[in-house]
Amino acid sequence: MDNRYKAKLGISIGDTNGIGPEIIVKTLSDQRILNFCTPVIYASAGVINKVRKALSAEHFHYQQVPTALDLVPKKVNLINCWEEDIEIEPGIPKPESGKASLDSLLAACRDLKAGMLDGLVTAPIDKDNIQAEEFKFPGHTEFLTSYFDAPESLMLLVSDTLRVATVTGHIPVKDVASRLNFDLIIRKITILQESLRKDFGILKPRIAVLGLNPHAGEKGLLGNEETDIIRPAVLHLKEKGHLVFGPYPADGFFGMRQYTQFDAVLSMYHDQGLIPFKTLAMESGVNYTAGLPIVRTSPDHGTAYDIAGKHVADETSFREALFLACDIIKKRQAEQKAVLK
Peptide bond into 247 cis (omega under 30): yes
Assign 130 to helix, strand or coil. Answer: coil
pLDDT at 334: 83
pLDDT at 220: 83
Q: Cβ(29)–Cβ(324) under 8 Å?
A: no
pLDDT at 175: 96
Cα separation, 61 vs 269, in Å, equals 41
Taking all residues of the chain, what is their mean pLDDT, rounded to a whole number? 95
Over residues 327-341, mean pLDDT: 83
For 118-143, b where at least 16 C-beta lie within 10 A, e where not — what string? bbbbbbbbbbebbeeeebebebbbbb
Per-residue pLDDT band for 3 (boundaries 50, 70, 90) equals low
pLDDT in tens, 15-63: 999 999 999 999 999 999 999 999 999 999 999 999 999 999 999 999 9
pLDDT at 1: 40
pLDDT at 219: 81
- Output the CA angle 335-34-72, nearest 5 degrees: 95
The helix (H) or strand (E) run that includes residue 67 is none
Cα separation, 178 vs 133, in Å, equals 29
pLDDT at 206: 98
Among 161-165, 212-216, 260-264, where is mean pLDDT lowest? 212-216
pLDDT at 221: 86
Residue 94 region by backbone torsions, left for phi larger than 0, else alpha for psi between -120 and 50, else beta:
beta
Which stretches of 159-282 are assigned E, i.e. beta strand?
Answer: 163-166, 207-210, 244-248, 264-267
Residue 120 region by backbone torsions, left for phi larger than 0, else alpha for psi between -120 and 50, else beta:
beta
List beta partners, residue 12: 42, 122
List beta partners, residue 156: 165, 288
What domains can be seen in the chain, in order of their start residue? 1-150+316-329 (3.40.718.10), 152-291 (3.40.718.10)
DSSP codes, 172-191: -GGGHHHH--HHHHHHHHHH
**Angle formed by the axes of helices 182-198 and 316-340, to 10°?**
80
Please enumerate in sequence order all residues whose Cβ is within 8 A of that of 231, keeping only pairs 6 or more positions apart, or say none: 246, 247
**Angle formed by the axes of helices 231-239 and 182-198, to 10°?**
50
pLDDT at 337: 74
pLDDT at 222: 85
Predicted confidence (pLDDT) at residue 137 exceeds the cutoff of 80: yes
Model-level pTM? 0.94
